[in-house]
């Protein structure tokens, strides 16, 4: 395996893009500022592989940052989208497909009795928090350092991946009055949560948490942590909101709440439920969701919510997953194979590397020992990660371009692709060790 990829057309297209797009991208992490070098511009994907505009092929672990659990261009998803498009791409009116997707979500996710479809994870969390404030009559939200819940005002405080990468102020452009409604404490620290509730007695509407943090790298909740949050919220009459935009239908059919056996009051979803198309959803207990207009008095709307293409793709993805009884076991096995392979390759190279994983989602942290919170994640050797990323890319493996992002394995990966990835990683880590 040699580092011989050429990127002339990608480089030219990025130069062209920077003339019309801020930084040449439509989402900051894609600019590769955290890893150095120029982004590759992708032309297509099939299964676990993607191809750039120069014709280079890569084993893909970005997977559109999570939704492509079946791999790229899965025939069932492509066929469903094609059929839906032939019937019309948007109506601004009810369709049967949005009800069918909602039925699948309600059946699978333990906490959800009613669900509202939206267009993004940001919309889902923003709307769920509005509902939480209305239901409790309180204003304050408690979130966790390094957890990302979308780019709505007030949620960008200590938000992980993109913000961490660029060392931006927590919330530029957000009025101080908005930011002051968000309280931030360390992840996996119940004592900090208890102290915060004591200091703001009767004022906290909701605790919002990624049950498996995915934007400070993959950091699962510690044993008992989610149950502890559930108990604290119950004692203080606050609501518990799980942001399962990444974990929903990824770590289990019912998400992290099924895996950890802790039921939140509200849940935000995205990624897998859209099968690769833009989608989000929020849902929860009947008495809460009945507050949403037109049934209740809390307003939220969207012309493209329940879009027929997105719902068709989501139904196809969820049905394909549900029909494969061994899907999650196979994903777990492939994830474990990659985790063990990366850790072994790092040990052979003499590189400090700890690989965190839950199911088919993982992050190799360039540090000794697994981090439990964002402060520990920031102790990683970011320069080493950047050199590793560039060496992997040149050898045909596309990893997320930030130490603080999560890698995703799909059902389109197989043992051969995992083993090829580990072999590439061994070469890349040896190069990092030699240059370090």
What is the structure's pLDDT at 157?
58
Report the pLDDT value the prediction gives residue 181, as an integer from 0 to 100.
87
DSSP 8-class letter at 27: S
State CA 31 to chain mean position distance.
18
| CA–CA dist 263, 223 (Å, integer) | 15
Domain annotation for the chain: domains and CATH numbers: 8-61+326-435 (3.90.1150.10), 75-323 (3.40.640.10)
Q: Mean pLDDT in each 10-residue stretch from start to end of the chain (436 residues)?
A: 75 97 95 95 98 98 97 98 98 97 98 97 96 97 91 67 47 73 93 95 97 96 98 98 97 97 98 96 98 97 96 98 97 98 98 98 98 96 97 98 97 98 98 91
**Catalytic residue chosen out of the listed positions 148, 225, 282, 328:** 148
Q: Which of 143, 145, 271, 328 is catalytic?
A: 271
User: Which 3 state secondary structure label does DSSP give 38?
Assistant: coil
End-to-end CA distance of the chain: 21
Q: Enter the pTM of the model.
A: 0.95
Strand 280-284 and strand 114-118: pairing?
antiparallel
Q: Is 271 known to be catalytic?
A: yes
Q: How far is CA 254 from CA 164, 175, 216, 362, in A?
A: 30, 37, 23, 19
**53/40 Cα distance (integer angstroms):** 8
Task: Given the residues 52, 145, 189, 243, select the one marked as catalytic.
Answer: 243
Alpha-carbon span 240 to 135, nearest angstrom: 12
Residue 243 annotated among the catalytic residues of the structure: yes
- Residue 150 is predicted with a pLDDT of 87
* CA pair distance 94, 402, nearest whole angstrom: 40
CB 48 within 8 A of CB 418: no
Per-residue confidence (pLDDT) for residue 167, from 0 to 100: 35
The pLDDT of residue 136: 98
Q: How much is the pLDDT for 39?
A: 96
Between CA 2 and CA 435 the distance in angstroms is 17
CA distances from 19 to 11, 13, 16, 414 (A): 13, 10, 6, 40
């Amino acid at each position: 395996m040699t580092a011989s990829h050429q990127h002339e057309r990608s480089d030219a297209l990025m130069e062209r893009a920077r003339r019309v797009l801020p930084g040449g991208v439509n989402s900051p992490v894609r600019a590769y500022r955290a890893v150095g070098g120029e982004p590759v511009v992708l032309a297509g994907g099939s299964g676990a592989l993607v191809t750039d505009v120069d014709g280079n092929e890569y084993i893909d672990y970005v997977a559109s940052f999570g939704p492509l659990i079946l791999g790229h261009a899965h025939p069932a998803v492509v066929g469903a989208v094609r059929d839906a498009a032939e019937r019309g791409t948007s109506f601004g009116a009810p369709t049967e497909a949005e009800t069918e997707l909602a039925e699948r979500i309600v059946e699978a996710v333990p906490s959800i009795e009613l669900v509202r479809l939206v267009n993004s994870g940001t919309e889902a969390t923003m709307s769920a928090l509005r509902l939480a404030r209305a239901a409790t009559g309180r204003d304050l939200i408690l979130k966790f350092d390094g957890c990302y819940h979308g780019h709505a005002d007030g949620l960008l405080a200590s938000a992980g991946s993109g913000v961490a990468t660029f060392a931006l102020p927590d919330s530029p452009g957000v009025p101080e009055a908005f930011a002051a409604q968000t309280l931030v404490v360390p992840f996996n620290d119940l004592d900090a949560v208890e102290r915060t509730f004591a200091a703001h007695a009767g004022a906290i509407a909701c605790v919002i948490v990624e049950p498996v943090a995915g934007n400070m790298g993959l950091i699962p909740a510690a044993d008992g942590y989610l149950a502890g949050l559930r108990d604290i919220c119950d004692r203080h009459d606050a609501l518990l909101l799980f942001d399962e935009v990444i974990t929903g239908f990824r770590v289990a059919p019912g998400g992290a709440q099924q895996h950890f056996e802790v039921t939140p009051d509200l849940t935000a979803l995205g990624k897998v439920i859209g099968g690769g198309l833009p989608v989000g959803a929020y849902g929860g207990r009947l008495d809460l969701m009945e507050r949403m207009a037109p049934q209740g008095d809390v307003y939220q709307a969207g012309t493209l919510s329940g879009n027929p293409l997105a719902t068709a793709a989501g139904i196809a993805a969820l049905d394909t997953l549900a029909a494969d009884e061994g899907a999650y076991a196979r994903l777990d096995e492939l994830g474990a194979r990659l985790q063990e392979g990366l850790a072994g390759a790092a040990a052979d190279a003499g590189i400090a590397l700890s690989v965190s994983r839950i199911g088919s989602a993982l992050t190799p942290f360039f540090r000794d020992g697994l981090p439990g919170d964002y402060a520990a994640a920031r102790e990683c050797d970011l320069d080493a990660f950047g050199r590793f990323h560039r060496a992997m890319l040149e050898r045909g493996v596309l990893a997320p371009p930030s130490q603080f992002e999560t890698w995703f394995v799909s059902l389109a990966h197989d043992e051969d692709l995992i083993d090829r990835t580990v072999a590439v990683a061994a070469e890349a880590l040896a190069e990092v060790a030699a240059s370090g």
